[in-house]
């Protein structure tokens, strides 16, 4: 089988499939990952072919699975599109970006269409195409199937020569990177019943379906909607907590304490909390895909998604809330030196795509601050094209320290020995420090504030 695209999702999926075993205990698949001939694509290929992960992770299970596959020889990566002709299954993990214009959100499908057309030109009849990419609902039916049919027609083959299914990715980088693929519930659907059956057979060989049964939806559009709605729900509940965070800060309430008490109720156990911001490749854009689908694929120009749209807008502003609080603590930030701890979008991952730290850093520098960035997992921040400190700097040359990401390296930091007598302003923007740690810092003489907590709470 082939995986098309070797980013944070595709590379992990390729490793998971290579680790799958048949009933005889032997590897179930020979896996080939395919990338574009770009510098980034070549670097990913070189890493995988050397048994190294192309992305940083704290998940030793994923690293070990890659090394095992490398030693067995059943996982390789290449630029050569001809390898698709060998595959009985192709999994599509091609990213889709959302952009905003005066008419609303749009998705540039040209690269995605080209990737699908390549499969149509190369895959042998009867092969299964599984789209894992999060797409506007209706994409499989209205984009993937027609693109494949057009490519097949050029080969003199019937339009239904390939099977098409959708099963959205569940990949969560972090400590449970591999587990998020193989030990988690998956939904799927086929454009035809035959395609759905084939997708089920494939997923059953990769996912632990005994403990995490598969869910078949009635259509690919329904399956695509499930992923978009799931992330829209999550983004909206995060946005809701922002207004309550401002209330808590203004009234001297510890919102984290409040939320902890509410979470004891089983129906509210996954309640979100205020923080530094929403980042990553899903929650920052997926809530907008409903509007894209309605207009671009179904011609529903009058259909609006006000809650989803407002959630995205609210979450985009979250890093600026931290910046405004920091300005208040420092009496302005022009000429101030700030140490930002964490630039990835979530803890214990190296993914900086759409990171809220980018918004914070750009705005802080525009206002005259000097910002030094540290992250234990990120060496080069591609979005800003800057090197990131991986050795924790001494705090004595900074006016303020902002804890932005709850990396393990920060939550377990020995604060007293690190500060070593320095007394910078400390702002916990993401629930990184416990109340006890914050109180300890105050006793040392630091001025401390926290997003979602009132002054001195």
Report strand pairing: 215-216 vs 187-190.
Answer: parallel
Q: Please, which residues bridge with residue 49 across strands?
A: none
How large is the average pLDDT for residues 162-177? 91
Report strand pairing: 380-381 vs 163-166.
Answer: unpaired
Report the pLDDT value the prediction gives residue 325, as an integer from 0 to 100.
97
How large is the average pLDDT for residues 174-183? 92
Report the pLDDT value the prediction gives residue 10, as an integer from 0 to 100.
96
CA 47 – CA 30 distance, rounded (Å): 18
Please write the tens of the pLDDT for every residue from 201-216.
999 999 999 999 999 9
CA 222 – CA 196 distance, rounded (Å): 13
Work out the mean pLDDT of the chain and round it to a whole number: 95
Task: Work out the pLDDT band at 261, boundaries 50, 70, 90.
Answer: very high
Q: Number of C-alpha atoms within 13 angstroms, CB side, residue 198? A: 20
Q: Which long-range contacts (CB under 8 A, 24 or more apart) does 416-424 make?
A: 416/440, 416/444, 418/392, 419/395, 419/444, 419/446, 420/394, 420/395, 420/396, 421/396, 422/394, 422/395, 422/396, 422/398, 424/339, 424/395, 424/398, 424/399, 424/400
How large is the average pLDDT for residues 237-260? 95
All structural domains of the chain: 2-220 (3.40.50.720), 233-450 (3.40.50.720)
> Nearest 5°: CA angle at 161, between 155 and 167?
125
Whether 457 has a pLDDT exceeding 80, the answer reads no
Please write the tens of the pLDDT for every residue from 32-71.
999 999 999 999 999 999 999 998 788 899 999 999 999 9
The DSSP line for 9-20 is THHHHHHHHHH-
Report the pLDDT value the prediction gives residue 56, as an integer from 0 to 100.
77
Please write the tens of the pLDDT for every residue from 344-392.
998 988 889 899 999 999 999 999 999 999 999 999 999 999 999 989 9
Least Cα distance to 127 among 200, 218, 198, 193 occurs for 198
Report the pLDDT value the prediction gives residue 227, as an integer from 0 to 100.
97
Task: Work out the pLDDT band at 280, boundaries 50, 70, 90.
Answer: confident
Report the pLDDT value the prediction gives residue 441, as an integer from 0 to 100.
96
Percent of the chain exceeding pLDDT 90 equals 91
Please write the tens of the pLDDT for every residue from 325-335.
999 999 999 99
Task: Work out the pLDDT band at 319, boundaries 50, 70, 90.
Answer: very high
């Amino acid at each position: 089988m082939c995986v098309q695209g070797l980013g944070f999702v595709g590379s992990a999926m390729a490793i998971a499939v290579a680790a799958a075993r048949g009933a005889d205990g032997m590897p179930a698949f020979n896996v080939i990952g395919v990338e574009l001939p770009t510098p980034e694509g070549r670097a990913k290929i070189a890493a995988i072919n050397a048994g190294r992960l192309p992305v940083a992770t704290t998940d030793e299970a994923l690293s070990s699975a890659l090394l095992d596959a490398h030693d067995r020889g059943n996982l390789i990566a290449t630029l050569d599109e001809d390898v698709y002709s060998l595959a009985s299954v192709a999994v599509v993990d091609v990213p889709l970006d959302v952009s905003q214009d005066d008419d609303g959100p749009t998705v540039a499908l040209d690269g995605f269409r080209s990737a699908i057309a390549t499969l149509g030109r190369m895959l042998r009849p009867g092969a299964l195409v599984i789209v894992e990419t999060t797409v506007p609902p209706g994409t499989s039916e209205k984009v993937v199937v027609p693109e494949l049919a057009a490519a097949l027609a050029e080969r003199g083959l019937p339009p239904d020569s390939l099977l098409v299914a959708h099963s959205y990715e569940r990949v969560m980088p972090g400590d449970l990177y591999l587990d998020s693929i193989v030990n988690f519930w998956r939904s799927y659907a086929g454009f035809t019943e035959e395609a759905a059956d084939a997708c089920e057979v494939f997923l059953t060989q990769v996912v632990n379906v005994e403990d995490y049964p598969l869910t078949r939806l009635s259509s690919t559009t329904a399956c695509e909607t499930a992923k978009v709605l799931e992330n829209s729900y999550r983004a909206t509940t995060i946005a809701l907590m922002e207004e309550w965070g401002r209330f808590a800060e203004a009234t001297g309430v510890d919102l984290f304490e409040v939320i902890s008490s509410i979470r004891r109720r089983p129906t509210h156990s996954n309640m979100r909390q205020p923080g530094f911001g929403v980042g990553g490749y899903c929650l920052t854009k997926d809530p907008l895909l409903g509007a894209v689908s309605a207009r671009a694929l179904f011609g529903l120009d009058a259909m609006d998604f006000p809650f989803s749209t407002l959630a995205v807008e609210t979450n985009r502003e979250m890093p600026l809330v931290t910046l405004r609080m920091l300005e208040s603590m420092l009496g302005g930030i022009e000429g101030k030196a700030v140490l930002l701890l964490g630039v990835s979008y979530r803890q214990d991952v190296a993914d900086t795509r759409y990171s809220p730290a980018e918004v914070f850093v750009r705005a802080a520098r525009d206002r005259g601050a000097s910002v030094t960035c540290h992250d234990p997992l990120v060496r080069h921040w591609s979005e800003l094209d800057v090197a990131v400190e991986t050795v924790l700097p001494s705090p004595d040359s900074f006016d303020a320290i902002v804890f932005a990401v709850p990396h393990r390296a920060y939550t377990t930091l020995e604060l007293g020995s690190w500060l070593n007598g320095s007394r910078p302003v400390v702002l916990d923007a993401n629930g990184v420090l416990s109340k006890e740690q914050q109180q300890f810092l105050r006793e040392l003489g630091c001025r401390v504030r926290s997003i979602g907590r009132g002054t001195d709470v």
